[in-house]
Amino acid sequence: LYTAPDSCEGRCGEPFSEEDECHCHAECERQRNCCEDHERHCGPDGFSSSRDSISEQELRELSEQLYGADHNKARPSDIAINPQHRAGPEETGERQDRSPQPLYKYVNEELFSKPTYSSFIKLLDNYQRATGREEEVTAEELREQDNFLQEVMKTELMQKLFAFLHGKKRYGSEQEFVEDLREMWFGLYSRADGERDSSGFEHVFSGEVKKGKVSGFHNWIRFYLLEKQGVVNYFSHNFDGPWDTYPDVLGLQFSWDGFYKEVGSAFIGCSPEFEFGLYTLCFLARPGRACHLSLGGHSLSVQTYPWTKSGYGSGRKFIATAYVMSP
């Protein structure tokens, strides 16, 4: 299922990229840069088939399809942001609030009544943000996870993603896909002190605090809700994407109850299922590596990392982090 960066499983015939630590293309044996398990997976009797690898072109084409299928995204009239100060590279670490006004001037909160938004928002208060403190998952929180997965799977966007992964023999059924989404995103693991204190969903969407700094926290809805409450303070931005509609991408600096995020990034105005689906695609196709995509004719990359210290099932990995990269 997983195309680990040091393995050829699911990567046979994948095009050469300098970013990869080892390779699985047809010329790698001659160039002596194959992954150690290249023969086992990609040889004549190998486990993986080259037609089941995911090419760069397929990633670009599918991401455009998912972008087009994001029917729940914000319209231009639904959100007004005020980015204010653009920070240079030397400024992002200075922890100075150079933007006196909030980032969000206006959000049409009718968006939040849509089923994928409302089920997503219910998940955000299920976590203790400090690492090292074990998460206790209640029966109600498990129901909220199930409800969110049910709602996103009703969307055309997630159905397109499943159909693609099914065609690549990554999943045999939609039920198998949903079960794996639950584990990779909501399964608990330890970031500190041996306590099961974290999950991919908590880190990416809700945010954590580790060693006195904000960790993760890459979601615009979470940011807006906390800024509205007065506990998030927007400082500046260091990147604003080329999109003139939503979703857009912003690289930003902020504090959360006094804890600082030096360089964060977030899609602005996308639906929960868009982020969830795009990050899932990149985690399955390019974990630990840059995942090169296309949205509305503009290139961008998503970076994901698997949690390598523990896993589930037969060698599967939890999501450690996922975020859109700002140049």
The tens digit of pLDDT for each residue in 264-318 reads 999 999 999 999 999 999 999 988 888 999 999 999 999 999 998 888 987 788 9
Mean pLDDT of the residues in the chain: 92
Closest C-alpha among 225, 245, 206 to residue 79: 245
The tens digit of pLDDT for each residue in 169-187 reads 889 999 999 999 999 999 9
* Residue 217 contacts residue 256 (beta carbons within 8 Å): yes
Q: Which residues contact 196 (CB under 8 A, 6 or more apart)?
A: 134, 135, 188, 189, 190
- Catalogue all structural domains in the chain, each as residue range(s) with its CATH number: 1-43 (4.10.410.20), 56-325 (no CATH)
Positions marked active-site: 203, 218, 261
Q: What is the pTM of this model?
A: 0.88
pLDDT of residue 50: 56
Q: Please determine, for residue 2, whether its predicted confidence score (pLDDT) is greater than 60.
A: no
The tens digit of pLDDT for each residue in 30-65 reads 899 999 988 888 877 554 555 677 889 999 999 999
